[in-house]
């Protein structure tokens, strides 16, 4: 039996794909991730941060036993697929008061991907505290995902889509997500066309430009779909944990 990932209880509009998004070119770091346990199969996103490591959200890892990482194209039918049983969620991952705490995980491939123009890892931002916490208020960031029409099946859409969000001020974020912790979370939203990630996108990256290169600053954690802003994990706060787990 197959179900989609609907574990969290914010009121979500189940028919939504990534909301108000636009077609995306291939983003060589983007990974479509399918994850299964004894009864269920779900999908979400992630990002290659090395030849064997995919950074994703903890919810895509905790309680699952096998992962399929699909990379190399903005068309799902043209992906290269890698199956693995190796993944770790943050030791303090937890769901509490409709917010996921320490919602970060790492999937490790059994063999490295071959880097090419269409498959390449993304750089991570600085360690929190070393420099300005990134992303800073109002910085524009890119989100992307394959989330599909959830009433129609258990697979994502054929084509990758993307949206542009800006980091939201703390007061707005805390008002919507009282249990959030602004060291580990940030909120972001698109105030012009309302693009937003949704169920089936969670775990995918949020990237921004820093000194002329694209870096991963966040993880899509709590899908808002039509509710904005959505909640993201601040990667810079987990830089040391990522390094200790991956060497990256």
Ligand X SMILES: *[C@@H]1O[C@H](CO)[C@@H](O)[C@H](O)[C@H]1NC(C)=O
- Applying CB under 6 A, the residues found at the interface with ligand X are 15, 149, 151-152, 158-159
- Please say which residue, 85 or 226, places its beta carbon nearer to ligand X: 226
CB atoms inside a 10 Å sphere around CB 155: 17
* Ordered DSSP codes for 130-154: TBS-SSPTT-EEEEEE----TTT-S
- Report which secondary-structure segment, H or E, holds 108: strand 105-108
Bridge partners of 96, per DSSP, are 99
Distance from C-alpha of 229 to C-alpha of 195, rounded to nearest angstrom = 10
Q: How far is the CB of 157 from ligand X (least distance, A)?
A: 7
Q: How far is the CB of 161 from ligand X (least distance, A)?
A: 10
- Please say which residue, 15 or 138, places its beta carbon nearer to ligand X: 15
- Please say which residue, 151 or 192, places its beta carbon nearer to ligand X: 151
- Please say which residue, 149 or 154, places its beta carbon nearer to ligand X: 149
In degrees to the nearest 10, what's the CA dihedral of 154, 189, 73, 6?
-20
Distance from C-alpha of 101 to C-alpha of 184, rounded to nearest angstrom = 8
Q: How far is the CB of 54 from ligand X (least distance, A)?
A: 24
Distance from C-alpha of 28 to C-alpha of 76, rounded to nearest angstrom = 13
Q: How far is the CB of 159 from ligand X (least distance, A)?
A: 4
Q: How far is the CB of 145 from ligand X (least distance, A)?
A: 14
- Please say which residue, 146 or 177, places its beta carbon nearer to ligand X: 146
């Amino acid at each position: 039996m197959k179900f989609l990932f609907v574990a969290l209880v914010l009121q979500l509009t189940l028919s939504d794909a990534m909301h108000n998004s636009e077609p995306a070119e291939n983003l060589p770091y983007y990974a479509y991730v399918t994850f299964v346990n004894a009864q269920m199969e779900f999908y979400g996103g992630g990002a290659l941060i090395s030849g064997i490591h995919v950074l994703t959200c903890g919810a895509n890892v905790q309680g699952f036993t096998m992962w399929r990482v699909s990379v190399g194209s903005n068309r799902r039918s043209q992906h290269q697929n890698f199956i693995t049983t190796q993944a770790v969620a943050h030791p303090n991952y937890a769901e509490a008061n409709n917010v996921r705490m320490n919602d970060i995980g790492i999937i490790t491939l059994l063999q490295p991907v071959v880097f090419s123009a269409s498959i390449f890892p993304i750089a991570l931002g600085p360690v929190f505290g070393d420099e300005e916490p990134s992303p800073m208020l109002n910085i524009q960031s890119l989100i992307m995902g394959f989330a599909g029409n959830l009433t129609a099946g258990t697979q994502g859409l054929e084509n990758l889509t993307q949206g542009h969000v800006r980091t939201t001020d703390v007061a707005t974020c805390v008002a919507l997500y009282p249990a959030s912790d602004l060291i580990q979370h940030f909120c972001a939203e698109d105030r012009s066309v309302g693009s937003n990630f949704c169920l089936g996108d969670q775990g995918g990256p949020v990237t921004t430009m820093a000194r002329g290169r694209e870096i991963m600053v966040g993880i899509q954690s709590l899908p808002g779909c039509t509710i904005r802003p959505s909640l993201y994990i601040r990667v810079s706060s987990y830089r040391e944990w990522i390094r200790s787990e991956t060497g990256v």
